[in-house]
A and B are shown apart, each in its own frame.
Chain A
Amino acid sequence: MAELADGIFNGISTGSVLLLAALGLSIAFGLMGVINMAHGELMMLGAYTTYVVQNIFKGMGAQWFEVYIFFALIAAFMVTALMGFILERGVIKFLYGRPLETLLATWGVSLILQQFVRSVSWGLVIGIATFCLLFFGGWGITSFRPNWDKIKTWFLVVMFPLSVGIAIALSAVLGNIFKLAITKPWFGAQNVDVSSPLWLRGGTTIGTLQMPYTRLFIIALTITCVIGIYLFLQRSPWGLRMRAVTQNRTMSACLGIPTQKVDSLTFALSSGLAGIAGCALSFLGSVGPNTGQNYIVDTFMVVVVGGVGKLVGSIVAALALGTTNYLIGSGAIASLVKPITPLYDFFTFFATTSMAKVMLFALIVVFLQYKPAGMFPQKGRSVEL
């Protein structure tokens, strides 16, 4: 009995981590068909936002530190949603309907983001800001000229290298004057430390069942997010528009739905959820430039097994995968079949974390042979398109 409760709780808690990480992806992938390889890096940005918020609140005193996590969740959502918005406007917009290019482009973005957090410093930020100010500011001003179309190419040829040069020169000069204050990376290549407030440390015990508070918090947060998304998609006007665009983009456009705005909003929402996940998971795992990569495979696994385009699919898949992974990895199945020696030996062999993963992937491969579209495949005519 105790073991059963233990298995169920740990399974759910493993599953909710998977689900939280995969929620945003299941929206981007499911509703928009965008394979966003940078999803993990958006989570990482969320985690870094948490780190920054934590440090700000640490300076404000102990009682503020206890509640920083709620502000961090909001801040992480905002930052990553904004980043997602920029990403959609700047990159993904041009690649709709070309999954392979989207995959490569977002993968490139993920590498850029990783290296960005490693090397971001005041010098770099000043450089980028100067470039944006000169180039896009100049673009804005000159585009009012009546002969804009004619001078557009000229503008690009002259202004681009010029603003790049000025930006690099400026940050180099500042770096030489102020030395470390400017050139020292904010975060560096090392992992940074995010510690949870005191009330999230430790855990509570019911019988023999040990429940860490962070796990309970993540389960609660996941449930809140799922309900929130459900209400948003089903009850709000923008949710209605999103679902309409998913079902039939052309018809929605004909009926006056601003599909481009819907796209941006959907992607921003998906990215914002990644930020929330990044914030919450920073209490369980590491926060570093590679944090995102640790989750990306698992999140895709959840979305693919669950079935593309169905939120309920992701939920069921995450819980199923989490529980299976825990039961195999912890040796619970092995001890269940202890009387049958060959079975026992078989499951004991797989009862290490890395072998459990092997078995889980094998099971997924077999499962996808029978149900290639996942647990809850999309039905209807749009699927054939």
Chain B
Amino acid sequence: MGIDRRKFLVYGSASLGTAMLLKACGTETPTATTPPTPEASAGTIKVGILHSLSGTMAISEKSVVDAEQLAIEEINKSGGVLGKQIEAIVEDGASDWPTFAEKATKLIDQDKVVTVFGCWTSSSRKAVLPVFESKKHMLWYPVQYEGQECSNYVFYTGAAPNQQIEPSVDWLLENKGKDFFLVGSDYVFPRTANTIIKAQLEAKGGKVVGEDYLPLGNVEVTPIISKIKQALPNGGVIYNTLNGDSNVAFFKQLQGAGMTAEKYPSMSVSIAEEEVKAIGVDFLKGHYASWNYFQTVELPASVKFVEAFKAKYGADRVVNDPMEAAYVAVYFWKAAVEKAGTADDLEAVRKSALGLTFDAPGGMYTLENNHHLAKFVRLGQVRDDGLFDIIFESKAAVPPIPWNQFVAETKGFSCDWSDPAKGGKFKA
């Protein structure tokens, strides 16, 4: 057999080279047609995008990356930031929390990015938090969360609990009844959210008739449905903080058990346009969701955002609240950098970010001193085409309250980063 190592290397690399050449020919076509932009030669500003592109959370996080890249592309087309093009470095957190911390370190130390847009689950945010705090870096977090956090090194563009959960509970109490059954996935967000809801119901005359938790990914919901029926034989409100696949099973089997949206209206905080599409409109029609933004918001900025997104990613795609928050995050960062006149001095960028306003798809947002956004609260009802009819909209932007006022340990605390003496958690 006449092949030794030297020949192997020669022929192997020759054929690999040919292959690479072919590949290069294949990809060179488009770059040749688009002329290099002058800004690109003047240097770029590197930003990091850190989301799960594989694993359980890829379902949700992939489209957030799409939204962030859309914003970056738009900014680049209109001349970039401080005359420089933005270069996004995308890393995959792989739905694994230690990986998130690792990749965050890599983005900061190796790629020298000036900011990071990333994370979805609270667990991933908690995993990268020490990295950003020790390196005094900057993270933009785009998802609604349970609150109880206010770091100087994170900007939270999703909803705080008082911008999503509390208004929806108030609305339900007024319009749908006083008996609540709480269903949630078994991890930190639903448990915290339900603690808040219970405290709020107690304060306002509602009643929790039952509470149940499903392990993440569990799809056998028969026991829960039996319990809801026992606890609410004549109908009542279901407050749903389930996440991921369990939602699908829950709504499919709810319908199978003959429990309609009229008799058992449910309010969800993790079901947006994308999820409706995945669960099936037939199962969700008539149920409610609470967010800051729906695709059906008719403001000019929203129409523009939806059109741009569909043009880039396909007409059958939808946008949702976390995607909008991620899109907005990129623009807030741009505004902060331009106000500070530098992208590299993070302290200056942080300072100038406070108090900024932006005409976002969801309305005029303000970045408050506690690093959260003042946004509008909206409640939507699922309609035939899988989008939401907006049935309630707060009259003004609701200021964010990260430290929960219904929970004894954090009652009375607030957060203000404009004043170094006050900081992340102080007794007001």
- Interface positions of A (Cβ within 8 A of B): 6, 10, 13-14, 17, 115, 118, 150, 153-154, 157-159, 161-162, 164-166, 168-170, 172-173, 176, 180, 184, 188-195, 201-203, 205, 210, 212-215, 281, 283-291, 293-295, 325-326, 329-332, 351-357
Contacts and interface: CB of A to CB of B under 8 A. Distances in A.
Contacts, number: 193
Interface of B: 1-3, 8, 11-12, 15-16, 18-23, 25-27, 29-30, 53-54, 56, 58-59, 62-63, 186, 211-215, 217-224, 226-227, 229-230, 244-245, 247-249, 252-253, 255-258, 274-275, 277-283, 313-314
24 contacts: A14-B222, A153-B3, A154-B11, A157-B12, A161-B18, A161-B19, A162-B18, A162-B19, A165-B15, A168-B19, A172-B27, A180-B314, A190-B63, A191-B278, A192-B278, A201-B255, A210-B229, A212-B256, A212-B257, A215-B256, A284-B219, A285-B245, A286-B278, A325-B220
B9 to A, nearest CB: 10
A353 B218 contact: yes
A10 B222 contact: yes
Contacts of A202: 255-256, 258
Contacts of A283: 252
Contact of A286 (B212, B249, B314): B249
Contacts of B257: 203, 210, 212
Given A162-B18, A284-B253, A172 B227 contact: no
A284 B251 CA distance: 9
Contact of B279 (A184, A191, A353): A191
A326 B27 CA distance: 56
A13 B222 CA distance: 9
A158 B15 contact: yes
A50 to B, nearest CB: 13
Given A191-B248, A288-B59, A165 B223 contact: no
A190 B11 contact: no
A210 B244 CA distance: 27
B103 to A, nearest CB: 18
Contact of B217 (A201, A293, A329, A330): A293
List 9 A-B pairs, minimum CB-CB distance, nearest first. A165-B19, A212-B256, A329-B223, A286-B248, A191-B278, A285-B219, A169-B26, A330-B223, A172-B26
Nearest to B222: A10
Contacts of B222: 10, 13-14, 326, 330
* Secondary structure of the A contact surface, majority rule: helix
Contacts of A356: 223
Nearest to B281: A193
Nearest to B16: A161
A288 B15 contact: no
B318 to A, nearest CB: 10
A118 B280 contact: no
Contacts of B53: 189
Interface centre among B23, B275, B279 (most CB of A within 10 A): B23
Contacts of A184: 314
Contacts of B58: 118, 189, 289
A193 B279 contact: yes
A153 B11 CA distance: 11
Given A150-B2, A189-B58, A213 B256 contact: yes
A189 B66 CA distance: 12
B248 A285 contact: yes
B19 A164 contact: yes
B15 A353 contact: no
Contact of A354 (B186, B253, B255, B258): B186
